[in-house]
């Protein structure tokens, strides 16, 4: 089987509009993105898993494969993910279809889908995720911006609040990890 990097580069060259990162996420980013997933009750949905950097770490942290659902648009990535992670549900569907895959009470969404400066994607992906998320669910998002990838006014509109988990310098490019939760009054 081809290495994750070789599969990633091949798909990036074939589908540059579909593969938005310049390299697979580092192990350090994967650890920051998946902090606490072993305590999550209910299904965990990963959107835009690519070659599975975050998936691998979630499984290493003890998340049972049957608790994980992966939504990936790229068919080649889906094939590789299915082979690498038996027991994990892999769906070749866009993240905008979260509400149509038959899940509810999601405990967590781990997102590698770029949402920065794309208000339509923010509403279609993040907004829809919260429609099927458990009341205390968390949406974890990677970004390459120093600011939250969803601006404060859109967070307010969706009833969300952002918290920065941290910056991971050991990534190309350096990444920031934010989590979004429902605003509690």
pLDDT for res 14: 53
Structural domains in the chain? 4-11+26-182 (3.40.50.150)
Whether a cis peptide bond, with omega within 30° of 0, leads into 173 is yes
| In the block, residue with structure tokens 């798909």 | 11
Higher pLDDT, 55 or 10: 55
Neighbouring-strand partners of residue 110:
46, 140
pLDDT class of 9 with cuts at 50, 70, 90:
very low
Mean pLDDT of 161-184: 93
**What's the pLDDT tens digit per position in 61-119?**
999 999 999 999 999 999 999 999 999 999 999 999 999 999 999 999 999 887 766 77
Mapped onto helix, strand or coil, the DSSP state of residue 39 is helix
Quote the pTM value.
Answer: 0.86
């Amino acid at each position: 089987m081809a290495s994750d990097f070789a599969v990633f580069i091949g798909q990036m060259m074939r589908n540059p509009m579909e593969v938005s990162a310049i390299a697979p996420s580092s192990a350090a980013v994967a650890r920051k993105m998946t902090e606490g997933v072993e305590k999550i009750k209910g299904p965990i949905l990963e959107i835009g898993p690519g070659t599975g950097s975050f998936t691998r770490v979630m499984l290493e942290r003890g998340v049972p494969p049957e608790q994980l659902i992966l939504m990936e648009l790229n068919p080649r990535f889906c094939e590789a993910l299915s082979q690498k992670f038996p027991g994990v549900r892999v769906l070749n569907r866009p993240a905008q279809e979260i509400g149509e895959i038959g899940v509810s009470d999601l405990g967590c969404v781990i997102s590698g889908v770029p949402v920065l400066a794309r208000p339509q994607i923010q509403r279609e992906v993040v907004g829809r995720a919260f429609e099927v998320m458990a009341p205390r669910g968390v949406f974890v998002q990677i970004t390459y911006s120093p600011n939250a990838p969803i601006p404060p006014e859109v967070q307010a509109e969706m009833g969300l609040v952002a918290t920065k988990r941290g910056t991971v310098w050991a990534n190309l490019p350096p990444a920031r990890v934010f989590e979004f939760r429902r605003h509690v009054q």
